[in-house]
Amino acid sequence: MLEELKREAYEANLLLPQHGLINLTFGNASAFDAARGIFAIKPSGVDYAELRPKDMVLIDLEGEKVEGKLKPSSDTPTHRRLYLGLDDIGGIVHTRSSRATAFAQAGRPIPCFGTTHADYFRGEVPVTRKMRAREIAGAYEWETGAVILERFKALKPLDCPGVLVNRHAPFTWNTTVAKAVEVAVALECCADLALMSLSLSPALKPIEPELLERHFRRKHGSGAYYGQK
């Protein structure tokens, strides 16, 4: 079972450079086995072209290494914090995709201007507050997860399966790591569309609430009817 978890994480990580969501060795993906309380994550600083399934590192929710010869991603505490704090998620992806990262660096949410965005996010993609000096100086990666959870106190994680960390970059999640990668691709697309829309119409207003709700509910929730059963 844990070999399958490592395979899922490995395949998800390989998709990040294929979709142009990272540069160099930036970014990572993890797959979570909730029943065992264990997640598989990319090793730190290893080139994607050199990755193998056996290289994935297994970590438990106490932060202890369960299996793996390599050092896990430096973002492992952020992933662990999110698995502890968000319900119903089975995979997390952290990218440095250019346009979504630009919104994050600017400290601006990605507005929902149209139905492409509404297919994945039930409103704007939120941005966290800036991290405080003591948070940066302390357990930085753990505190990164904490500010994400703070931002999501009043939000449902599967209604908005992604966030922009202020001055940093995006994180996405979903019920599986494969779906979290799909959301990461969609997030970059939404950021690109938002930037182009604002260049054409700087005063553009967000999508009408009824159109947002209709498109989101076509693909999500008990009444979803998009795609095949």
Two tokens at 197? 């829309």
**Among this protein's residues, is 140 annotated catalytic?**
no
Measure the CA–CA gap between 19 and 39, rounded to whole angstroms.
23
Structure tokens at 36: 């065992």
Catalytic residue among 55, 119, 140, 192: 119
CA distance 172 to 93: 5
Burial, 133: exposed, middle or buried (Cβ in 10 Å; 0-12, 13-18, 19+)? exposed
Among candidate residues 21, 7, 1, 148, the one with its CA nearest the CA of residue 84: 148
Tokens of 94: 């952290």
Q: How many CB atoms lie within 10 A of CB 150?
A: 12
Q: Which tokens hold the place of 89?
A: 């998620």
SS3 (DSSP) at 80: helix
Give yes or no: 47 in active site: no
Sign of CA dihedral 107, 207, 196, 181: positive
Q: Which residues are catalytic?
A: 119, 226
